[in-house]
Homo-oligomer: A and B are copies of this chain.
């Protein structure tokens, strides 16, 4: 068990931490509030996280730098202003951004670096590490920490993820992350992936968990037990759909497990209750839609398409989603939804002796 020594502690003394906590309330949480963060809200959340001892705070549009757009939803406040507000509000915590190649640009990365951002997470689908090479190298040239972030990691095998992680490491990534973006992994699936990857790379591994199966906290703890040394959370679990691993619960459960997070659970509980919950349009609940996504293991963006196809072709939405999960359909293959609905409708008709 390697301890992370943080010499930037608020008290000036060394804080020995067993892992690094990255909070994404101001990035992944942005999805849940339709990217309507104000500068005041960003400052309040950053101050709360920073005071509680969180080491890295990610601030960007939910879809990363440049995400504010017709396709992904417009931000209320220009993300550069939000990033600048975060940098000015923090004392010890690093401010990070997310960059999805194809959405964010190198120019935007330079701009946030100039504002004082020193960590970038470069996020791609879990089989596409090869498109991160340029971005990782530029981030390193800019003097930033580069984290390779593999999304929808339940769609790749432990061995497949290790190969992707090795690519990221080879490009110069300082840290590799696997994200369970659909909250679709069982605890044993997380364990198998983490164990395989940490055994094959030299840089630290992180895990980003979602709540669709109500396993985000348990899976984060399991990831730590298998050797992950970065864990993600968001205040009050704020995030798309079922939400993320709640930072304040993760901190409390770490303490009960004897894992030193270096953050103060009570301060994080106060932040969640007094700052984050009041700005949430709805509380994070694992409702049918969220649970279905985790159960089927598909993208959140498929939900509405599947609902429409279900109505049009008279097939249960759940059946469409489950079949899409089995076929491991990825973002960009939305046309498959209609194919699947038509096929299922035909099967139903045949079973009932009707003509579709």
Q: Please give the residue numbers on chain A whose beta carbons come within 8 Å of chain B beta carbons, in ascending order.
A: 186-188, 211, 213-219, 221, 237, 246, 248-249, 252-253, 255-257, 265-266, 269-270, 272-273, 277, 283-288, 291-292, 294-295, 316, 318
Q: Which residues on B sit within 8 Å (CB–CB) of A269?
A: 288, 291-292, 318
Q: Let me know if A295 and B215 touch, CB within 8 A.
A: no
User: Measured between C-beta atoms, what is the minimum distance from A223 to chain B in Å?
Assistant: 13
Known A269-B318, A286-B249, A318-B266: A215·B213 in contact at CB below 8 Å: no
Tell me which of B213, B246, B248, B287 contacts A217 (CB under 8 A).
Answer: B213
- This chain's copy number in the assembly: 2
How far, in angstroms, from A255 to B187 measured CA to CA in the complex?
A: 13
Chain B residue with minimal CB distance to A322? B266
Nearest Cβ in chain B — how far from A275, in angstroms?
Answer: 12
Which residues of chain B come closer than 8 Å to A214, judged between CB atoms? 211, 214, 216-218, 246, 249, 253
Q: Give the CA-CA distance A273 to B257 in the complex, in Å.
A: 34
Is there an interface contact between B256 and A295, defined as CB atoms closer than 8 Å? yes
5 examples of A-B residue contacts, CB within 8 angstroms: A188-B257, A213-B252, A255-B295, A256-B295, A266-B318
Q: Is the CB of B295 within 8 A of A265?
A: yes
